[in-house]
Amino acid sequence: MSEALRAELARIVGPRWVRSRPAELAAYEADGLPTHASRPALAVLPGDRRELTDVIRLLHLAAVPFVARGAGTGLSGGALAGGDAVLVILTRLNHILRLDPASRRAVVEPGVVNARLSEAALPHGLYYAPDPSSQTACTLGGNVAENAGGPHCLKYGVTTNHVVALDILLPDGRMARLGSPSGEPWGPDLVGLFVGSEGMFGIALQITLRLEPLPPAVRTLLAAFPTLRAASEAVSGIIAAGIVPAAMEMMDQACVRAVEASIYAAGYPVDAAAVLLVEVDGSPPAAAAEAAAVETLLLRHGATEVRQAESPAERARLWQGRKKAFGAMGRIAPDLAVQDAVVPRSALPDILDQVAAIATRHGLTVANVFHAGDGNLHPNISFDSRDPALVARVHAANRDIMHACLAVGGSITGEHGVGSDKIEYMPDAFDAETLGAMRAVRTAFDPSGRANPGKVIPLHACREWHRGART
Amino acid sequence: MSSAVLDRLRALLGGAAVSRDPDGLPRAVPDSVDAVAATLGVAEEAGWRVRVEGHGSWLPADAPADFALTTRGLDRILAVHPADLVATVEAGVAVDALQRRLAADGMWLALDPPGRPDRTIGSVLATATAGALRAGFGPVRDHVLGCTAVTGDGRVVRPGGTVVKNVAGYDLTRLQVGGFGAFGVLTTLHLRLRTRPHAEATLLARGPRDHLTSAARDLIEAHAQPAALELLSPAVAADSDWVLAARLVGSDASVDAERALLLAVTDLGWAELDKDGAHAFWHLATHAASGAAVTLRLGVLAPGLDEMIDLVGQHLDEGLVWAGALQGGLRWAGEASPDRLRTLRGLAAAREVPLTVERAPWAVRQAIGHFGAYREGVGPLVAQLREVFDPSGRLVVAIDGADA
């Protein structure tokens, strides 16, 4: 990193917003996933849209790569910068620019924290539906980059279903305005293409989001099951009955015990093999009727206990246990590898058996907490990153889990993204032609490949695409 | 047209799959993804301009081309998974045939696209034409989990997958849905399904347009969530007045609750249709667009609907209009010259409202494009993406007009 570039960046954002000392940069070595680390050459924190644009233009002129980063809560090693790449941190661009209750839209800067938007919309009876477990910390810009999900995405959809328009800064510093407030694009669906591009197409400067009306009534049920299989079958039974709960979350015994041993103890039954948290919403009579139907189905599928939250406080407590489960599991070992994969819902019972067998084979402890309604697994492996042999076993187990999920028609990631962590599995998930197309599309947005280099697409596995034959 | 090249195509696809129109245009009816890829590979080598056709029931098959490729041979429902609520179908499957097949397993695809019932699912996806149900179930893209598409130079890409939640790799499926075939030929689609609802109701209110839109605003404020709340012009509803149509879908309790809200919040004198009447009404409303030469959609939010309908009335006519009273969006069908459409597009763009030509004769499409009045930075991106997916410009698609 040249001193001249550092000085020029400091001139744009002010010296206190450029971090270059090793001790300062250590904070940005990893995101929420402890298995990947990389120290950036420099970190810069622009304070507004203009500063951000000037920074990106400068980096373009200097031909320096960059990585955009929000709160650093990602779980795929996606926001790591190595080599001479500059980390561009967006947390200071944290203004909610407009909130329009009549059309149920919000316009925000990328650094706005997810939960802050719902708080701001609350007085209008509205909220922002996608709710990643890290929603009290993660930023909406990061949610857009990763196409983040969350428990309530079962009924309400993931980030991409809620983004209607984007102002983006291309890696060469030019701007593009994609989509419109209605959600109808100007041309092909470039908003849909940009969401989930993991910071490799540019930076979202301004995000227009759809808000949802708060459901008038919510019912939260907790069910205990003697086996994971019975709980998984209950999930399929509820969906087959035509009920789409707002959320349907499962925790296995290891996860439940970790939660109950932590400060987030939620009163989960620690002797059950699986705990299912089901939430239904709607008008009061509809939610009541649906909750009754769900309760019947849970019992029919072998639940040994079904409880309904009696008060908002009890509901909050049940959810807090689920949302803090990663943190609770993190307490029981020095490190936690949070994994993410998807299988068709009907494959859940078998895949959970396979995950358990894989963990046993590698001599590891796995705890499951996941979005059962979507078939979105989070098998979490506790380990100690100071033990290289153990780290290698964790890696091997993860690889086996990914292959098992792909073998039943699943996906290597449902909501955490590919980042650095899953790039090696991309050739198992996509053929060389499709990977080549993805690489070529990236090139359309970023011809010099400077935005978040080295992530998502394994270049060696791509078939070559010839561009520009027309010109 | 070289007959040697056609012979090669016959050798690849089988003799019956290649024919000539009465006017001499050769046409291929490939019946697999590989056959589509082989066909486009041959076209690429021969330097042909290719027109892609479905049943010809939505976009007219009139683009000037050296060669036509139809998806009619891709008419298989490949897999239906009731437990996962996912289906994999070929692009040439007719929507009505698909819905019948899904209904047999207690499921449906929650889309009610305008046009003829036997439109191909490929045309619905390529043009992203959703109907009134988009209020409750989202736009077309929300129903698509992944696809197979063949690029203009014959490459096969398979983005997305068959699971309901998936962020592996860039979302290239989104580019194909609503891409009007400019980024390749859709051959196979993975669709998200729903269980058929237990209960359903349709209620109609008629009256002056401003009265109905004002009632719709009250419903938005009351957080009503019908599956559809569509404002229909007299010509669409076959009525002497404008009609506000509400479709409620869900459990008995949720339909009852939505009906009660509708009646409590508005003073419109709603009339509820019986099952056959509701089916006939939505059939009529959905298919009223079938005969018109031009169909367009305007991406307007609900609060801007009145002004936009006025604008459409001024510059085109107030004949066939469908408007999403809850979520916005306006569709118009009729006859219109490129000049008038261009003017309307400019006026709409000034209000941050995109105008998309969903269907029109080639002369109109060529003049103004499916898209136009691009916002800052969009045009170059579209051009670059076109180069990725159709490097030699084989696919004859008027994606954007000369004035984009």
- The domain spans of chain A are 3-89, 96-213, 217-327, 333-407, 430-471
Across the range B375-396, mean pLDDT stands at: 96
Chain A nearest CA to B22, separation (Å): 32
Task: Tell me the per-residue pLDDT of B216-266, one tens digit each, with 9 for 90 and over.
Answer: 999 999 999 999 999 999 999 999 999 999 999 999 999 999 999 999 999
List the CATH number of the domain containing B183. Answer: 3.30.465.10
The pLDDT of residue A261 is above 90:
yes
Of B287, B313, B332, the residue that ends a domain is: B287
Question: What CATH class has A217-327?
Answer: alpha beta
Whether the CB of A83 is below 8 Å from some CB of chain B: the reply is no
- Tell whether the model's pLDDT for residue B209 goes beyond 50: yes
In chain A, whose CA is at the least distance from the CA of B358?
Answer: A187
Give the domain CATH number at B218. Answer: 3.30.70.3450
CB-nearest to A285 from B82, B151, B256 is B256
Is the Cβ pair B254, A147 closer than 8 Å?
A: no
B34 pLDDT exceeds 50? yes
Cα four-point dihedral sign B200, B206, B209, B210:
negative
State the architecture of A333-407 in CATH terms. 2-Layer Sandwich (3.30)
The answer as to whether B178 is a domain residue is yes
Planar angle of CA A274, B163, A249, nearest 5 degrees: 25
Q: Any chain A CB within 8 A of the CB of B263?
A: no
Q: Is residue B350 in a domain?
A: yes
Do residues A57 and A46 touch, judged by C-beta distance below 8 A? Answer: no
In the prediction, which pLDDT does A338 show?
A: 87
What pLDDT, on a 0 to 100 scale, did the predictor assign at position A466?
A: 63
Q: Identify the bridge partners of residue B295 per DSSP, sorted by sequence position.
A: B333, B359
Please identify among residues 138-177 of chain A the ones whose CB lies closer than 8 Å to any CB of chain B: 146-147, 149, 153, 157-158, 160-161, 168, 170, 174-177
Q: Quick: pLDDT tens for A68-78.
A: 999 999 999 99
Mean pLDDT of B360-370: 96
Contacts of A191 in chain B (CB under 8 A): 174
pLDDT band at A12 (very low <50, low <70, confident <90, very high): very high
Taking only residues 299 to 338 of chain B, the set having a beta carbon closer than 8 angstroms to any beta carbon of chain A reads: 299-303, 328-329
Q: What confidence tens digit (pLDDT) does each residue in A192-239 have?
A: 999 999 999 999 999 999 999 999 999 999 999 999 999 999 999 999
Distance between CA atoms of B40 and B185, rounded to whole angstroms? 10
Residue B290 has a CB neighbour count (10 Å cut-off) of 15
**pLDDT category, B56, cuts 50, 70, 90?**
confident
pLDDT-based confidence at residue A9 (cuts at 50, 70, 90)? very high
**A217-327 and A333-407: same fold?**
yes
Do residues B223 and B299 both lie within one domain?
A: no
| CA atoms of A404 and A141, how far apart (whole Å) | 32
Domain count, chain B: 3
Residues in B 74-103 with any Cβ partner in A closer than 8 A: 81-86
Read off the pLDDT of each residue in A293-302 and give the average, rounded to a whole number: 98
The amino acid present at A82, given as its one-letter code, is: G
Is residue B117 located within the same domain as residue B266?
no
* Cross-strand bridge partners of residue A163: A209
Mean pLDDT of B61-71: 94
Position B124 pLDDT exceeds 50: yes
Reference B246, options B271, B258, B231, B228; nearest CA is B228
Chain B partners within 8 Å of A289 (Cβ): 251-254
Q: Do B373 and A286 touch (CB under 8 A)?
A: no
Q: Are B134 and B249 in contact (CB under 8 A)?
A: no
On whether any CB of chain B is under 8 Å from the CB of A302, the answer is: no
Choose among A185, A374, A415: nearest Cβ to B178.
A185
Tokens of A457: 């697409």
- Which residue among B164, B196, B228 closes a domain? B196
Quick one: B25 and B46 in the same domain?
yes
Final residue of a structural domain among B267, B287, B307: B287
- What pLDDT sits at residue B402? 65
Q: Is A196 on the interface with B (CB under 8 A)?
A: yes
Q: Tell me, what's the ipTM? A: 0.97
pLDDT digits (tens, 9 = 90+) for B321-332: 999 999 999 999
Inside any domain, residue B389: no
**Which pLDDT score is estimated for B404?**
55
Q: What is the mean pLDDT of residues B70-85?
A: 96
Which chain B residues are Cβ-neighbours of A172 within 8 angstroms? none
Any B CB within 8 A of A374 CB: yes
- What pLDDT shows up at residue A467? 53
pLDDT tens digit string along A144-169?
Answer: 999 999 999 999 999 999 999 999 99
pLDDT above 60 (res A471): no
Select from A182, A346, A414 the Cβ nearest to the Cβ of B167.
A414
pLDDT at A468 over 50: no
Which residues from chain A sit within 8 angstroms of residue B84, using beta carbons? 344-346, 375
Residue A31 near residue A73 (C-beta atoms within 8 A): yes
Inform me whether the pLDDT recorded for A34 exceeds 90.
no
Confidence of residue B395 (pLDDT cuts 50, 70, 90): very high
pLDDT score, position B68: 95
pLDDT at position A372 over 60: yes
Instruction: Mean pLDDT check: name the lowest of A349-358, B20-29, B233-242, B382-391.
Output: B20-29
Same domain for B160 and B184, yes or no, is yes
Tokens of A214: 């708060």
Tokens at B16, concatenated: 């019956």
What pLDDT was estimated at residue A330? 79
Residue B365 has pLDDT above 60, yes or no: yes
Q: In terms of pLDDT, which residue wins out, B54 or B32?
A: B32
Residue B171 has its nearest CB partner, among A160, A180, A465, at A160
Does the pLDDT of residue A328 top 60, yes or no? yes
Give CA angle at A146 (A145, A148), nearest 5°: 120
Q: Summarize the confidence of residues A439-454 as an average pLDDT.
A: 97
Q: Is residue B380 part of a domain?
A: no
Q: What is the pLDDT of residues A106-123, one digit of tens each?
A: 999 999 999 999 999 999
Residue of A nearest to B298 (CA): A184
Which residues of chain B lie closer than 8 angstroms to A284, CB-CB? 257
Do B175 and B211 lie in one domain? The reply is no
Rounded distance, CA B196 to CA B227, Å? Answer: 13
The per-residue pLDDT for A2 is 86
- Cβ distance B400 to B365 under 8 Å? no
Give the number of beta-carbon pairs within 8 Å between A and B.
Answer: 284
What domain range includes position B273? 199-287
Q: Does B247 lie in the same domain as B179? A: no
More reliable by pLDDT, A224 or A470: A224
B22 and B158 housed in the same domain: yes
Record the tokens describing residue B72, joined without a space: 């009619």
Q: What is the pLDDT of residues B332-344, one digit of tens each?
A: 999 999 999 999 9
pLDDT recorded at residue B58: 87
Whether residue B334 lies inside any domain: the answer is yes
B350 touches chain A (CB under 8 A): no
Q: Chain A contacts of B371, Cβ < 8 Å?
A: 186-188
- Rg over alpha carbons for chain B, rounded to the nearest Å, is 22
Pairing of strands A163-169, B355-359: unpaired
- What is the rounded average pLDDT for all residues in chain B? 95
Are residues B42 and B108 both part of a single domain? yes
DSSP per position, B46-89: HT--EEEESSSSSS-S----SEEEESTT---EEEEETTTTEEEE
Same domain, B43 and B156: yes
Is there a single domain that holds both residue B355 and residue B233?
A: no
Q: If contacts are CB pairs under 8 Å, which of residues 5-44 in chain B contact chain A?
A: none
CB contact under 8 A, A188 and B385: yes
Any bridge partners for residue A280, and if so which? Answer: A219
pLDDT bin (cut points 50, 70, 90) of residue B201 is very high
**A455: Cα within 13 Å, side-chain hemisphere:** 35
Q: Does B161 contact A at CB distance below 8 Å?
A: yes
Q: Which CATH architecture has domain A96-213?
A: 2-Layer Sandwich (3.30)
Q: What is the pLDDT of residue A469?
A: 40
- Let me know if residue B67 belongs to a domain: yes
Alpha-carbon gap, residue B355 to B352, rounded angstroms: 10
Q: Give the nearest partner residue to B165 out of A158, A178, A288, using CB atoms.
A: A158
> What is the pLDDT of chain A when averaged over all its residues?
95
What percent of chain A clears pLDDT 70, i.e. is strictly above it? Answer: 99
Mean pLDDT within B151-169: 97
Chain A residues close to B85, C-beta within 8 Å? 239, 345
- Residue B1 pLDDT class (50, 70, 90 cuts): low
- Same structural domain for residues B192 and B213? no
Inter-chain residue contact A196 with B198, CB threshold 8 Å: no
> Which chain A positions have a beta carbon within 8 Å of B166's beta carbon?
342, 411, 413-414
Residue A470 has pLDDT above 90, yes or no: no
Say if residue B104 is in the same domain as residue B222. Answer: no
**Mean local confidence (pLDDT), B55-64:** 88
Q: Which CATH architecture has domain A3-89?
A: 2-Layer Sandwich (3.30)
